Structure 1
Amino acid sequence: MQKLRKQLDELESFIPQLEVRNDAISASTVGWQIEHDLLVISSVIEGVKRSDPTKYKWRFKPLKYVILWRGVIPRGKVGAPKIVTPGEITQETLRAHVALCRERVEELENVEAGNYFTHPFFGDLKKKETFRFLYVHSEHHLKIIREMLAN
């Protein structure tokens, strides 16, 4: 969980560069990358909190294990679902969303281990796997941002 907190700090540090775009790396802006990641963190944690552990269904999903084990999401293979596609982005909205995500990360720590969320490709992820997914997903977008700003 500490890793996810550090990632939120890093995302927040990039807010002043929200308008930066580097088409060689991504068609989106730094702000879009930040907001998308925050939308994922927020919505996933809300899903975990609302879940009913008795309805959890384990299924072997090779892709889930490869990505979560390796810690790398391939670029450009899947587009963001509409629910986590950013709308209007400002420094103020990003800062408020970072603060909300910090609160939700704390809430996730207090959720029962059996709670889960259902990922469209990975299936049901219990709390521990959810933390790993959020870390891997955030790192994916942080790498994109770092590259966008390095060039």
Structure 2
Amino acid sequence: MDSQLYDIAYLIQFRDCVNANVSEAPIAWHLDHSLKVINKIHDVLKSSDSTVYEKRFNLVRSFSFTFGFIPRGRGESPGSVLPPNDIKTEDILSQLEIARENLSELSSLELNANFIHPVFGQLNKKQAKRFLKIHTKHHLKIIQDILRKE
């Protein structure tokens, strides 16, 4: 995920670019949202009770994790990870620094630290790390398409 965080840092300069054919949201929205997801999931994993984790099969998760892909326009983000209407560059930079710290701390969390994803169900630490990588890749690809089609 380090390379993805470097990509996020680089892309901040294009924060105001929009291409409605790709996404109604500007690049800043995708950057802010991606960082909020990383930081929120870290916080939930850190405070979770590892004894309540139950391994369960989830077909949608299996497909997404196998192919490393999230289809566009299918999911709806929970309010806790939605960017504000006014996204400040300094807030993105602050979240980026926190995300770097949080990602480095993930390895020290218990194996069955967990969180509930609205589509993929309960994810343990390993699955959560996989989800974060796929989710961030999803938004970086949208940003690439915004920039390519401007």
Query: What band does the TM-score fall into relative to the shorter chain?
Result: over 0.9
Deviation (angstroms), 1:37: 0.5
Distance in 1 (CA, whole Å) between partners of 2:113 and 2:72 is: 29
1:148 and 2:115 matched: no
List gaps (5 residues or longer) in structure 2: none
Question: Which residue of the other structure, out of 64, 69, 82, is the alignment partner of 1:85?
Answer: 82
Q: Please, what TM-score do these two structures have when normalized by structure 1?
A: 0.95
Q: Distance in 1 between matches of 2:76 and 2:24?
A: 12
79-88 or 131-140, which deviates more: 79-88
Distance of 1:52 and 1:79 partners within structure 2: 26
Return the letter of the residue paired with 2:108.
N
Task: Give % identity.
Answer: 34
Separation (CA, whole Å) in 1 of partners of 2:81 and 2:127: 20
After superposition, where does 1:1-151 map in structure 2 within 5 Å?
Answer: 4-87=1-84, 88-151=86-149
Structure 1: 5+ residue runs without aligned partners? none
Post-superposition CA distance 1:91-127 (Å, at most 9, x none) = 1111111001001001112111121111111111111
AA paired with 2:34?
D
Deviating above 3 A after TM superposition, structure 1's stretches of 4 or more consecutive aligned residues are: none
**If the length of structure 2 is used for normalisation, what is the TM-score?**
0.95
1:36-94 deviation line (CA, Å, top 9, x unaligned): 00010000111111111111122211001100111000001122211111013121111
Counting matched residue pairs gives: 148
**2: CA distance, partners of 1:82 / 1:125:** 20
